[in-house]
Amino acid sequence: LIIYGGLVLTPSMNPDDLIGGRFDPAFAIDYVDKYLNPGRPVAGIEYFGRGEAPMAVYNLLRNNGLLSFLFGLGPGDIIISRFTISADIISSESLLTGMKYGIGYGSRTGVLFTTIQIGFLGALFYFLFVFKVFSSFFNRRFFSSDTPEKIQIIALGLVGFLGIFIFDFFAYSQTSFQVIPIILPVCFAYHYVKGQSEFKRYS
């Protein structure tokens, strides 16, 4: 029902281009394939789609040598700032990446955005660090019967955030680790749960 409703109610996913259009899985699969792998320059950018970007990033870093492959092209290399290029000139970081390296929209995926700047080794350590920090909430003590309910709820929410981060980092964008209105509440919740847990342990 979810798949049927998604294809029928999303105009771009049905051949009629209407809300309530025909159910046509073959059309939707073809649309998704062309979205991920345009196979042609888009807006003057050679590798634009999400499906094309991973191999393009791999080749870019490999061709720049072992140090670039492991440690990237430098933090901030594809970030718009007054030290690199003004937002008045380039409207998005994916366009900046396209202008410099021919890799467009697909580079906004968190893992690729990170890897270009700090390399495969840096991206691996960064991901493992975040996973290690939040995996502590899988501990049963956060969900034991003597733990206050509000602590259990917040701890469960932080486990959920880890799941969202993993999906966002590997498949979608940099939102979960760049947007301050997301980061601050997560940091507050993390500090609160950890603080309450330590207080309970030593009290």
Calpha distance 47→32 (Å, rounded): 16
The model's pTM is 0.83
pLDDT in tens, 103-114: 988 898 999 999
Alpha helices in 37-148 (DSSP H): 53-63, 66-71, 93-101, 110-135
pLDDT in tens, 87-134: 666 777 788 898 889 998 889 899 999 999 999 999 999 999 999 999
What type of residue sits at position 112? L
> How confident is residue 29, by pLDDT bands cut at 50, 70 and 90?
very high
